[in-house]
Amino acid sequence: MTDMHDEVVEAVLGYYDSNQDLAVDCLLYLASLKDMRLAYAATRELEAMERCPECGSKLESYTHLVYHPEVDEPPRYEPVTEVYCPRCDIRTGGNYV
Ligand SMILES: [Zn+2]
């Protein structure tokens, strides 16, 4: 059987083009299925939409400064932006490479 996971995800996105919340609900369902490739494709799309792959909430980000004591010259602070879900507080940024 041909793998159609990308086509399924694209079909959902196209069909619910004007209603992102419905598309997110469909992607959450797909992401929960046992088909790993389909779940991965749906999860990837949710992250591209800046939605939590667990609950579908809009992801938020915050920037904080990381101190680098090994650096000789100031500034020793590096701004780092983290992405997180305000509902489940799962950090999704960078987990899927
Ligand atoms: Zn969440």
pLDDT by position in tens, the chain (length 97): 788 889 999 999 999 888 999 999 999 999 999 999 999 999 999 999 999 999 999 999 989 999 999 988 888 999 998 888 998 875 555 544 3
Ligand 1 geometric centre to CA of 56 (Å)? 6
In the reported structure, the alpha carbon of residue 13 is separated from the centroid of ligand 1 by a whole-number distance in angstroms of 20
Cα separation, 42 vs 87, in Å, equals 19
pTM above 0.85, yes or no: no
23 contacts 16 by C-beta, under 8 angstroms: yes
Position 34, amino acid:
K
Q: What is the pLDDT of residue 90?
A: 54
Q: How far is CA 67 from CA 64, 70, 76, 81, 82, in A?
A: 10, 9, 6, 14, 15
CA distances from residue 82 to 46, 78, 92, 93 in whole angstroms, order as listed: 17, 13, 9, 7
Report the separation in Å between the CA atom of 51 and the middle of ligand 1, taken as the mean of its atom positions: 8
Q: What residues contact 33, with CB distance under 8 A and at least 6 apart?
A: 39
From ligand 1's centre to the CA of 5, what distance in Å? 23
28, two tokens: 């959450």
- DSSP-assigned beta bridge partners for residue 63: 81
Q: How far is the CA of 53 from the centre of ligand 1 (A)?
A: 7
For residue 73, the CA-to-ligand 1 centroid distance in Å is 39
Task: Give the Å distance between the CA of 2 and the centre of ligand 1.
Answer: 32
